[in-house]
Amino acid sequence: MILNAAVPNEFSALRVITLATDPACVLRLASALGGMGVTPLATVASLEALQAWLSAHRVDIIVCEIRSECGDGLMLPSVLKALHDAGTLMQFPSIFWTGETTLNVQENLIEATVTPACEAPAKQLWVKHMGGVAISALESHSRLAQSAGISVQILRDGGPLELGDALRTVLLTLAQPDPKLQAMTFESLAEDEVINALTTGEGLRFVFQPQFELLSRRIVGAEALVRWKHPRFGEIPPAVLMPLVNRLGLDLLLFSLVEMWTLRVMLALKRENITIPIAVNASAKTLCTPNFAERLALRMRQADLPSRLLKVELTEDVQEPDELHLSASLTTIRAKGFQVSLDDFGSGAATFKLLANLSFDEMKIDGSFVRGVEQHASSRKVIAGIVNWAGLLNLSLVAEGIEDESTIPLLHRLGCRVGQGYALARPMEIDAFLNFVIEREKNG
């Protein structure tokens, strides 16, 4: 992605450190950064020296060389995480990985072992490497770092345009508030303000994001999401609100509020003869509330709505839910005719265990794979694998977090039929959502 040509001094305020041992590489990095108007604060040769720097200075970017004989570059995200967890590092610097790229031949060992040598020659694979490490392995590692909150960019060709884009991405990120710092600010939110918002509904809204059949762009469902506008801090992201709600034991109350507004939306759509399922998020704890399914079924009956219109998305708020209890609850919910979806599949190890042990109607592919689908071959392979699993387990599938129109045909080719994301439609206030769905329905 080319964002822009470099503007002189554009990057001069960035605080950059290089981590490299090979003198030729040190010179190459210094010259590439110099060409962008960046003078590194320091060049260090070991992780120990880097840690000393980080404990005393704020650093925006660490440019480091990847070499198979030295694991420092690969270890860097874990070192940063440990410093962060120990309270030494307030904000993660971005990491740029660079190194010599080569196309190496790799014997396909699996083929070689299953095919007798006399019958066919072992298949040869050409694999792209950086500094002797397969790029696909670097991509997986960078995605893992990303999910720990650390941005890693792989500079494959090391050219000035690529470096300029990477530096500009960091500049843009720095201009936005850091979510971790934001979370710390919000921690000062008084608990009674959250209790007040949930009990009075003050500042609370519910928005709805449509889900589309990717090929026809027909609306086939929607998801309800909470919004809270705090009188002093403004919009509080659900990522901050939800842990507070769960800690205060207000999750069931929130579920009831979302459910109430969702039923109102369903009734408004029913008046227009539109029947699309709407999903409501719920944690394992909420779903394990005694008589949860019975109460939900009663509400639907009172509203004269069929259960199949309400979908429950299981979110991963608890690391190790009581699977036996959860299995009983999910089975009861499904037996009452509600659909159950496994949210954010692939975002954590727990989702795989849940998929293996419990039964669902649907799984949602985590947005982190979807967002990387064009850039990372590994994301494409993971999505293709999930599509396979969904087929084997007879589950429907929703791809989440589709931000770019250009990814839609690719997702479709990989086997995703339904999707949700900013490229298709953003979450909308109730009136806007109803108008949007009704208009679409009228115009075919």
- For binding to ligand C2E (CB under 6 A), which residues are involved? 209, 225-226, 237-239, 242, 254, 258, 281-283, 313, 315, 343-344, 367, 400-403, 420-422, 427
Query: If contact means CB under 5 to 8 A according to the sort of partner, which of Mg ion, ligand C2E, none does residue 282 touch?
Result: ligand C2E
Query: Residue 83 or residue 242: which is nearer to Mg ion going by CB?
Result: 242
Q: What share of the chain is helix, strand, coil (3-state, %, to 5)?
A: 45, 20, 35
Query: If contact means CB under 5 to 8 A according to the sort of partner, which of Mg ion, ligand C2E, none does residue 226 touch?
Result: ligand C2E
- Please report the DSSP string for 216-251 in residue order: T--EEEEEEEEEEEETTTEEEPHHHHHHHHHHTT-H
Cα(431)–Cα(348) distance, rounded to whole angstroms?
A: 35
Closest distance to ligand C2E from the beta carbon of 127 (Å): 31
Asked if 284 contacts 292 with a C-beta cutoff of 8 angstroms, the reply is no
Query: If contact means CB under 5 to 8 A according to the sort of partner, which of ligand C2E, Mg ion, none does residue 64 touch?
Result: none
Closest distance to ligand C2E from the beta carbon of 214 (Å): 14
Pairing mode of beta strands 61-65, 94-98: parallel
The DSSP output letter for 421 is S
Closest distance to ligand C2E from the beta carbon of 422 (Å): 4
Closest distance to ligand C2E from the beta carbon of 204 (Å): 10
Asked if 343 contacts 281 with a C-beta cutoff of 8 angstroms, the reply is yes
Closest distance to ligand C2E from the beta carbon of 39 (Å): 34
Closest distance to Mg ion from the beta carbon of 250 (Å): 18
Query: Residue 132 or residue 238: which is nearer to ligand C2E going by CB?
Result: 238
Cα(327)–Cα(302) distance, rounded to whole angstroms?
A: 27
Cα(418)–Cα(404) distance, rounded to whole angstroms?
A: 15
Q: Which residues bind Mg ion (CB under 5 A)?
A: 281, 313, 343-344, 400
- Of 237, 217, 240, give the one whose Cα is nearest residue 227: 237
Query: If contact means CB under 5 to 8 A according to the sort of partner, which of Mg ion, ligand C2E, none does residue 429 touch?
Result: none
Query: Residue 45 or residue 225: which is nearer to Mg ion going by CB?
Result: 225
Query: If contact means CB under 5 to 8 A according to the sort of partner, which of Mg ion, ligand C2E, none does residue 210 touch?
Result: none
CA distances (Å), 354 to each of 324, 346, 348, in order? 11, 11, 11
Query: If contact means CB under 5 to 8 A according to the sort of partner, which of ligand C2E, Mg ion, none does residue 37 touch?
Result: none
**3-class SS of residue 203:** coil
Query: Residue 164 or residue 210: which is nearer to ligand C2E going by CB?
Result: 210
What amino acid occupies position 128? K
Query: Residue 29 or residue 257: which is nearer to ligand C2E going by CB?
Result: 257
Query: If contact means CB under 5 to 8 A according to the sort of partner, which of Mg ion, ligand C2E, none does residue 65 touch?
Result: none
Closest distance to ligand C2E from the beta carbon of 260 (Å): 12
- Please report the DSSP string for 412-425 in residue order: HHHT--EE-STTT-
Closest distance to ligand C2E from the beta carbon of 317 (Å): 7
Query: Residue 313 or residue 362: which is nearer to ligand C2E going by CB?
Result: 313
CA distances (Å), 16 to each of 38, 80, 145, 153, 190, in order? 8, 15, 19, 14, 38
Query: Residue 48 or residue 202: which is nearer to ligand C2E going by CB?
Result: 202
> How large is the angle between the packed helices 160-175 and 23-35, nearest 10 degrees?
70
Query: If contact means CB under 5 to 8 A according to the sort of partner, which of ligand C2E, Mg ion, none does residue 198 touch?
Result: none
Cα(242)–Cα(250) distance, rounded to whole angstroms?
A: 9
Query: Residue 94 or residue 286: which is nearer to ligand C2E going by CB?
Result: 286
**3-class SS of residue 198:** helix
